[in-house]
Structure 1
């Protein structure tokens, strides 16, 4: 019979969706039960966020493998620590303070509380794709001499907090086509969608003006596509799929029509990822005419899928949707400039321009001499539970009925309150925070981008 009867971890949810975001505090406990007295080398829990990609390709009867990783943070708390290993942590590991217990563990069931505050930073959302993933993990490890390590892990779902002010503007585009094969004449299409950023399950409002001066009736179609891009060791891998394709009304030959359509996004879409150096998840919404026996004239709009309940800046109302106007007016065939978007080269880091702007874009601060808005007004308490939500009760510290026969009830390890999160994970100051007693006109420095985790790039295979 194994000496270690149980090693497990649990954590408390902070909302009904059981998701976490920047600055949230994760509280939980590790349960450790043994049948007899044991000596432990170390017992610790870590919280980490990282992205990984990997794939294989076959060329000229040879197989080549590519991989890369990117770490966002790694937090660690010891319950039992080997004194000889103090100060020998890997670079980049942030140790959090907590009660250190004796390495001699009495028989019975013991409960060790832990607490982590997720850092503030530009981290991507949790994601699992065909050639890579972004994961945020809680993992407890038990280390004993001459024994295999025992572990238990739980994955938490991370949803970033973003500023979406610049994603609320309408997008417009136009295109035309001269018919050549089996069809004569011309066709022109002009389309507008109400914005760029959408939440899962939200409605895309589309207004389309079609001038069908061809000899055929043409059908108007809509399509949403997802593209996953992965980068490693100077190589890239792409995968795309069609989320939905919808056939609209038929436009008769020789007619002009304006068509307004509401399209509902699926509720199970993955969030967009444009702020990861080794992978991207992007969406393209297409409006096009189905032309038989020829290429279809299409208009492509980049679409950003945002977290549900996204918070926007105070005073920034979503602009009303106004379809692009008169098909017979001047400039009807000239598309306005499209927002910058697309897969960057593997050597670049960060979002495309205009996709995820900073926390204080110029429209929010027309007066640079005024004090910035408070953090509380921008972001309510992230750990406040939803109405009617009851978090799971904490695990009991000790259950005498679980004690083995023949042993006295062991004492519970002395526990002290875990220090508040800022003491052990300072991280960058939240955007908009003004310290107490700051002089008039104080303006905090903008947050800096976290350094990406270095990856080793082996020699390229030719």
Structure 2
């Protein structure tokens, strides 16, 4: 056999929940192959797994109580998509797959409540098509190829996504000998963003200390939460364990000087990278926050910090056009072609058919941050202000068994206009500092 490969119809192998997954299996061989059947399967699901060392106690032969350490493995699985079909079967009893190029189209339905493709340190959400050629008296030939699933998370229908956020803090710098009060007020124009968008961070500084302010820096963190159980039932409360992970996905820094007993303003810009949108499913949750720090020249206690929660979606917030101005034309993002009618007839060999089996999905929570459902409608995503490209996740490449290296792809909008920062800080009397917002 010269080649066995899986090809998806969707550009970049990206699909949306509720959209049929279509493509073809191509087998190229110069001579006939002894084989009984070709099976095509589809699978998608979430999986978490990790081990922890836990202290246990036992009683020895003398009745003394002693402690020991045991490695306990925690795992959980949620299946969203399963299906299989026999694409070709030897009908004449000769068990021969003809020589040449044999093409087997396939089409599988996908449920509307699929969470996005995701790769994490203690779990993942993966979707793939697997093909297996049964060969008598030989190892079966197998191949697997993953595809990306991107839910339609529309920030325009998320109530809190458009809300501006302001947070402030102050600190009497210095350790033993206090050098004076430094105040920082940080403003973000909204809470919801998409990958590729520029996030402006407006920082107003009032320095009433004896030390200058020397730099401001910000960091965007991905917060992943994994859930698993030691037993076989996830619904047994005392068996459920949790694991958290924090990963920096973007940073920005700017050096500048605010002299003692003066004020200043600085605007940091941070580009949202290609990352998975915020989501929640029964065993994995992902959300984001951004922290902003201010550094003074004081050796001890010279750093101030505030934090904000962020929502990452896949459909950007539409900006209102100025009065009298024409609204920009809406562009539909590129999606995969419509699936062919069922059954799909395979080409290259006699009468191969691929029937999609009914997907099995548990009653998972399809609700994202802000109470917005993922994949509420079947079909392409709603119109956006600019067409996205699909870029590989910054989380790296994963090697799945019988598969080529794979990294999930997420929509990235590179043509969005930068959101305007809040009005500049006006010198004069210091504005009243708002109370610190908790989150």
**What TM-score do you get using the length of structure 2 for normalisation?**
0.61
Picking from 96, 99, 106, the partner of 1:106 is 96
Q: Name the CA shift for 1:288/1:187 in 2 (closer, same or farther; >3 Å).
A: same
For residue 21 of structure 2, what is the aligned residue in structure 1?
A: 26
**Conservation of the 8 A alpha-carbon contact between 2:79 and 2:360:** no
Q: Map 1:67-86; keep pairs closer than 5 Å.
A: 67-79=75-87
For residue 135 of structure 1, what is the aligned residue in structure 2?
A: 126
Q: Could you tell me how far apart the structure 1 residues matched to 2:92 and 2:336 are?
A: 33
**Conservation of the 8 A alpha-carbon contact between 2:88 and 2:352:** no
Q: Map 1:3-402; keep pairs closer than 5 Å.
A: 5=1, 8-15=4-11, 17-32=12-27, 38=34, 40=36, 43-59=38-54, 61-79=69-87, 105-109=95-99, 110-121=102-113, 123-143=114-134, 148-165=139-156, 166=158, 167-179=161-173, 181=175, 182-219=177-214, 220-233=216-229, 234-242=240-248, 243-265=250-272, 267=273, 269-291=274-296, 292-294=299-301, 296-307=303-314, 310=315, 317=319, 382-383=335-336, 397-398=347-348
Per-residue deviation, 1:300: 0.6
CA offsets per residue over residues 283-302 of structure 1, 9 Å max, x none?
32112222531273311112
Per-residue deviation, 1:272: 3.4
Per-residue deviation, 1:263: 2.6
Q: Name the CA shift for 1:297/1:383 in 2 (closer, same or farther; >3 Å).
A: same
Per-residue deviation, 1:63: 2.4
**Conservation of the 8 A alpha-carbon contact between 1:225 and 1:244:** no
CA offsets per residue over residues 86-111 of structure 1, 9 Å max, x none?
xxxxxxxxxxxxxx967764342443
**Conservation of the 8 A alpha-carbon contact between 2:293 and 2:305:** yes
More strand by share: 2
Q: Could you tell me how far apart the structure 1 residues matched to 2:334 and 2:254 are?
A: 44
Per-residue deviation, 1:153: 0.6
Q: Secondary structure at the match of 1:294?
A: coil
**Conservation of the 8 A alpha-carbon contact between 1:229 and 1:238:** yes
Q: Name the CA shift for 1:203/1:379 in 2 (closer, same or farther; >3 Å).
A: closer
Say which structure, 1 or 2, has more relative contact order (CA 8 Å, 6+ apart). Answer: 2
Q: Name the CA shift for 1:236/1:250 in 2 (closer, same or farther; >3 Å).
A: farther
Per-residue deviation, 1:186: 1.7
Q: Name the CA shift for 1:72/1:424 in 2 (closer, same or farther; >3 Å).
A: closer
For residue 413 of structure 1, what is the aligned residue in structure 2?
A: 350
CA offsets per residue over residues 42-67 of structure 1, 9 Å max, x none?
53212221111222233554323222
For residue 403 of structure 1, what is the aligned residue in structure 2?
A: none
For residue 64 of structure 2, what is the aligned residue in structure 1?
A: none
Tell me, which stretches of 5 or more residues in structure 1 are unaligned? 82-99, 321-376, 386-395, 399-411, 434-462
**What TM-score do you get using the length of structure 1 for normalisation?**
0.59
Q: Could you tell me how far apart the structure 2 residues matched to 1:290 and 1:103 are?
A: 78
Q: Could you tell me how far apart the structure 2 residues matched to 1:180 and 1:37 are?
A: 79
Per-residue deviation, 1:190: 1.2
For residue 60 of structure 2, what is the aligned residue in structure 1?
A: none
CA offsets per residue over residues 113-157 of structure 1, 9 Å max, x none?
211232212x32222222221111110134467765432110112
**Conservation of the 8 A alpha-carbon contact between 1:7 and 1:151:** no
Over aligned residue pairs, what C-alpha RMSD do you find? Answer: 3.8
Tell me, which stretches of 5 or more residues in structure 2 are unaligned? 56-68, 230-239, 323-329, 339-345, 367-374, 379-439
Q: Could you tell me how far apart the structure 1 residues matched to 2:319 and 2:93 are?
A: 58
Number of positions where the alignment pairs a residue of Structure 1 with one of Structure 2: 318
Per-residue deviation, 1:158: 1.7
